[in-house]
Amino acid sequence: MPVKSPDPQTSVLLLHWQAHWSSLIAIVVQLAFLGWYLAAVRRVSRRGRRWSPFRTGGFVLGMAVVAYAVEGGVTVYERDSFTAHVVQLLLLVDVAPPLLASGAPIRLALQSSSRRTNAFLLSALHSRLAQAITHPLVAFAIATGSMYLYFVTPLYSWSESHPVFLPYVELHFLAVGCLLWWVIVGRDVLPKAPGFAMRFALVFMSVPFDAYLGLAVASDTKPLYAAANTLADTQAGGNILWSLTEVFIVAAIAYLFVEWAREEERKAVQADRQLDAALAAARAAVAAPAEPNAGTN
């Protein structure tokens, strides 16, 4: 008989923080990234450039979500509750990455760094590897394939029985989430930025894949990790997996629609300005020959 999955306590979820060696390393790395970002924002400001506070706020909030998912109370239950582990991974895949992408850290690095650093970053961005993995379909395949590989194969149960492997799982899902959402959000510098049509297509393509995976897990007839999880816990985790991902997809569609509307408005304003400039130039060209005749009279 499987061990009964614990019922997560609200006080633990909100107030508990891990002190494991991997969590301590993670928080040091996160603080280093956050410190660099804030220092880079100050450097950009000193150079007379404006950096949107919304970008800064998005990045800071994204780092806070990463910190909670890796060191917060949800990690107390990641090995004993499949549902809690699903929530943890969704925070790393679908919540933190779009917030981090909205902060445009690569663009910030290019604006705040030296010429040598800029040359290195641009070289890395335009390398064959970067161009390959940031291709929208490749990024989608890596992110979606990682979810299926983890939950459909024995990899999940293996990671739960080998806790040293769990930090890699968290890092991997954060990385693939960032890879996909960097392309979808479209705020940062990429080797080749996709258009809105492709970004919308990526979001809509996620619907059947995410729904099928969640429903497949929810339909399991035995626990994915019988040593610690009950069947009810596995099925509840599957339901959360598909339902929350659909919520994130709706939010992404709404975000893209707003961004698309703003882009179309900017294009309309720019077209109006170009038209006004062309009309002014045409009027000036028509009026120019008449000026000498007016002087002779």
Q: Write out the DSSP string of 192-243.
A: S---HHHHHHHHHHHHHHHHHHHHHHHT-SS-TTTTT--HHHHHHHHHHHHH
Q: What is the pLDDT of residue 268?
A: 81
The count of residues in the chain is 297
Q: Across residues 188-202, what is the average pLDDT?
A: 92
Q: What is the pLDDT of residues 147-176, one digit of tens each?
A: 999 999 989 988 888 878 888 999 999 999
Categorize the per-residue pLDDT at 285 as very low, low, confident or very high, splitting at 50, 70 and 90: confident
Lowest-confidence segment of 92-96, 111-115, 288-292 by average pLDDT: 288-292
Higher pLDDT, 268 or 179: 179
Categorize the per-residue pLDDT at 73 as very low, low, confident or very high, splitting at 50, 70 and 90: confident
Q: What is the pLDDT of residues 222-260, one digit of tens each?
A: 888 877 788 898 999 999 999 999 999 999 999 999 999
Q: Across residues 102-130, what is the average pLDDT?
A: 92
Q: Across residues 17-41, what is the average pLDDT?
A: 90
List the chain domain ranges: 10-283
16: left (phi over 0), alpha (psi -120 to 50) or beta: beta
* Half-sphere exposure (Cβ direction) of 117: Cα atoms closer than 13 Å: 9
Predicted TM-score (pTM) of this structure: 0.87
By CB neighbour count within 10 A (0-12 exposed, 13-18 middle, 19+ buried), where does 199 fall?
buried
Chain position carrying tokens 């626990």: 223
Categorize the per-residue pLDDT at 1 as very low, low, confident or very high, splitting at 50, 70 and 90: very low
Residue 104 contacts residue 181 (beta carbons within 8 Å): no
Q: Phi, psi (5° rounding) for residue 71?
A: -120, -10
Tally of CB atoms within 10 A around 113: 15
pLDDT reading at 291 higher than 60: no
Q: What is the pLDDT of residues 45-65, one digit of tens each?
A: 998 889 999 999 999 999 999
